[in-house]
């Protein structure tokens, strides 16, 4: 590992810019998919408003944070007045309403960590998860979307990394690997760390957007239009960034001592007492701090076995970017 960490970027890395951008373009969903998602949301709003006239529906996750790829499912949050509601009851009622409106595969998962109703719309072919009052997710969705408007290289890197993670089977939280949300946070923090920086730290700037959700104050600078061009002094292309991202996670990240923190735009030390408490209990095999709910470590799903799998995949990807004559094929080879 010590030797490998001294590796420098291949001098001809830029030859991979065009093929990587071609893959990136192919991952972006077509406009008509957006229209179908809107159509489904409108239908759901109609169904929900009959039973709960004051409820609101919000899209969150990849259908709203801009990091969605073709044929993604959509994530919907039903926001309903809190007082005295029983989430399970609401979910069961919702499932009943959806079923009688001919939506397919309707399932209420009331015991899941985040309780949801699942459904498939036979008209648009889109699958959907609906959760209740998960407004923190709606808020972090806006943060990710705002970051994506600052420099297109975030969108490119995140879609490529998500595609790699799905192809290699390391985007499965139930198997101890990382969520898409965690990978996007890793990409944002990585671009905050480049010299010169490609992304600013929005939570470190004067707040223009403030909401309190579940007693957590979420505040950051959201006038991102004036930050377009922030990363322009950095001339790195997508190939160099993909190389550096995997090189970092394969050979440079200090897994035992470091915390990835989009909130501060830095890599923090776990030895900071405050932080050790903040990132929660558990073994901290990889630490990725949630930007708002700082007690939430997105890496807490990772166990002794899956950390090995993850690190081997990072090393495989770094090796391919360094030496493989045809990285754009090998990188995404199904596992
Ligand atoms: N989320 C969260 N905390 C987590 C996991 C997810 O708050 N530990 C929220 C985030 O708002 C995230 C959304 O749930 O955007 C959906 O998570 P996920 O499915 O991981 O990400 P998507 O962006 O929807 O990715 P995919 O395209 O794989 O569905
Ligand atoms: Mg999703």
In a domain, 262, yes or no: yes
> Of the candidates 84, 101, 134, which is a domain's last residue?
134
* pLDDT one-digit tens code per residue, 209-231: 999 999 999 999 999 999 999 99
DSSP class of residue 207 equals P
* pLDDT one-digit tens code per residue, 155-211: 999 999 999 999 999 999 999 999 999 999 999 999 999 999 999 999 999 999 999
Q: Is 53 exposed, middle or buried (0-12, 13-18, 19+ CB in 10 A)?
A: exposed
ipTM comes to 0.98
Whether 233 has a pLDDT exceeding 60, the answer reads: yes
User: Closest Cα partner for 164 from 140, 143, 186?
Assistant: 186
In a domain, 235, yes or no: yes
Whether 70 has a pLDDT exceeding 70, the answer reads: yes
> Of the candidates 100, 134, 168, which is a domain's last residue?
134
Give the integer Cα–Cα distance in Å for 34 and 273: 45
Closest C-alpha residue for ligand 1 atom 23: 62
In a domain, 231, yes or no: yes
In a domain, 335, yes or no: no
109 & 18 share domain? no
208 & 312 share domain? yes
Parent domain of 35: 31-134
Whether 1 has a pLDDT exceeding 50, the answer reads: no
Q: Quick one: tokens of 227?
A: 């930050």
Give the ligand with the smallest distance to the CA of 288: 1
100 & 210 share domain? no
What are 261's strand-pairing partners?
266, 289
State whether the beta carbon of 140 lies less than 6 angstroms from ligand 1. yes
State whether the beta carbon of 121 lies less than 6 angstroms from ligand 1. no
DSSP class of residue 249 equals I
What's the confidence (pLDDT) of residue 277? 55
CA dihedral 130, 131, 135, 138 (to 10 degrees): -30
Closest C-alpha residue for ligand 1 atom 10: 137
Average pLDDT, the chain: 94
146 & 284 share domain? yes
In a domain, 184, yes or no: yes
User: Closest Cα partner for 265 from 201, 320, 197?
Assistant: 201
Q: List, in order, residues 6 or more apart from 186 with CB less than 8 Å away.
A: 161, 178, 245, 249, 260, 288
pLDDT band at 83 (very low <50, low <70, confident <90, very high): confident
Dmax over CA atoms of the chain, in Å, equals 64
Average pLDDT over residues 87-100: 96
- The percentage of the chain sitting over the pLDDT mark of 70, rounded to a whole number, equals 95
In a domain, 264, yes or no: yes
To test the pocket of ligand 1, the residue of 128, 130, 165, 179 to mutate (highest count of ligand atoms within 8 Å of its CB) is: 179
159 & 285 share domain? yes
> Of the candidates 134, 157, 183, which is a domain's last residue?
134
What's the confidence (pLDDT) of residue 5? 58
114 & 245 share domain? no
In a domain, 6, yes or no: yes
CA dihedral 80, 120, 37, 87 (to 10 degrees): 10
- The secondary element (H helix, E strand) that includes residue 128 is strand 127-132
Q: Is 210 exposed, middle or buried (0-12, 13-18, 19+ CB in 10 A)?
A: exposed
Give the integer Cα–Cα distance in Å for 86 and 195: 49
Distances (CA, A) of 199 to 133, 164, 182, 247: 30, 22, 17, 19
101 & 226 share domain? no
* pLDDT one-digit tens code per residue, 238-283: 999 999 999 999 999 999 999 999 999 999 998 874 655 555 545 6
CB 74 within 8 A of CB 168: no
In a domain, 185, yes or no: yes
Closest C-alpha residue for ligand 1 atom 9: 137
Cα 269 to ligand 2 centre (Å): 30
Which atom of ligand 1 is found nearest the CA of 166? 28
Cα 69 to ligand 2 centre (Å): 10
252 & 277 share domain? yes
User: At what angle are helices 17-27 and 238-247 packed, to 10 degrees?
Assistant: 90
Q: List, in order, residues 6 or more apart from 229 with CB less than 8 Å away.
A: none
Which atom of ligand 1 is found nearest the CA of 290? 3
Which atom of ligand 1 is found nearest the CA of 137? 11
16 & 164 share domain? yes
143 & 129 share domain? no
Task: Give the full edge-to-edge strand order of the sheet including 116-120.
Answer: 56-60, 74-79, 127-132, 116-120, 104-109
230 & 129 share domain? no
Which atom of ligand 1 is found nearest the CA of 162? 28
What are 269's strand-pairing partners?
258
- The percentage of the chain sitting over the pLDDT mark of 90, rounded to a whole number, equals 91
Domain count along the chain: 2
Whether 36 has a pLDDT exceeding 50, the answer reads: yes
Computed over its alpha carbons, how large is the radius of gyration of the chain? 21
CATH of the domain at 249: 1.10.1410.10
- The secondary element (H helix, E strand) that includes residue 216 is strand 216-220
113 & 7 share domain? no
What's the confidence (pLDDT) of residue 7? 86
CATH of the domain at 59: 3.30.460.10
Distances (CA, A) of 83 to 80, 86, 247: 9, 9, 49
Average pLDDT over residues 135-159: 98
């Amino acid at each position: 590992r010590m030797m490998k960490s001294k590796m420098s970027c291949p001098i001809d890395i830029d030859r991979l810019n065009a093929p990587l951008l071609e893959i990136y373009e192919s991952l972006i969903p077509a406009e008509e998919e957006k229209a179908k998602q809107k159509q489904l949301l409108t239908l759901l709003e109609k169904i929900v408003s009959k039973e709960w006239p004051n409820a609101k529906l919000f899209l969150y996750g990849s259908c709203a944070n801009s990091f969605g790829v073709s044929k993604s499912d959509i994530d919907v949050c039903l926001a309903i007045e809190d007082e005295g509601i029983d989430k399970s009851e609401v979910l069961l009622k919702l499932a009943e309403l959806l079923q009688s409106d001919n939506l397919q595969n309707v399932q209420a998962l009331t015991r899941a960590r985040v309780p949801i109703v699942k459904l498939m719309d036979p008209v648009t072919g889109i699958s959907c998860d609906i959760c209740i009052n998960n407004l923190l997710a709606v808020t972090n969705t806006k943060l990710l979307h705002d970051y994506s408007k600052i420099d297109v290289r975030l969108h490119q890197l995140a879609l490529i990394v998500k595609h790699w993670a799905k192809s290699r089977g390391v985007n499965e939280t139930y198997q101890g690997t990382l969520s898409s949300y965690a990978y996007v946070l890793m990409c944002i923090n990585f671009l905050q760390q480049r010299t010169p920086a490609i992304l600013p730290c929005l939570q470190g700037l004067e707040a223009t957007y403030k909401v309190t959700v579940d007693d957590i104050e979420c505040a950051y600078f959201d006038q991102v239009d004036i930050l377009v061009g922030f990363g322009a002094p950095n001339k790195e292309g997508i190939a160099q960034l993909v190389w550096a991202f995997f090189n970092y996670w394969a050979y440079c990240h200090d897994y035992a001592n470091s915390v990835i923190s989009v909130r501060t735009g830095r890599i923090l030390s776990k030895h900071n007492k405050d932080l050790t408490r903040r990132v929660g209990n558990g073994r901290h095999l990889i630490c990725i701090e949630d930007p708002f709910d700082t007690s939430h470590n997105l890496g807490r799903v990772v166990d002794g076995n899956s950390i090995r799998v993850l690190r081997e995949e990072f090393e495989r990807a770094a090796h391919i970017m360094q030496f493989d004559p045809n990285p754009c094929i090998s990188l995404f080879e199904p596992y």
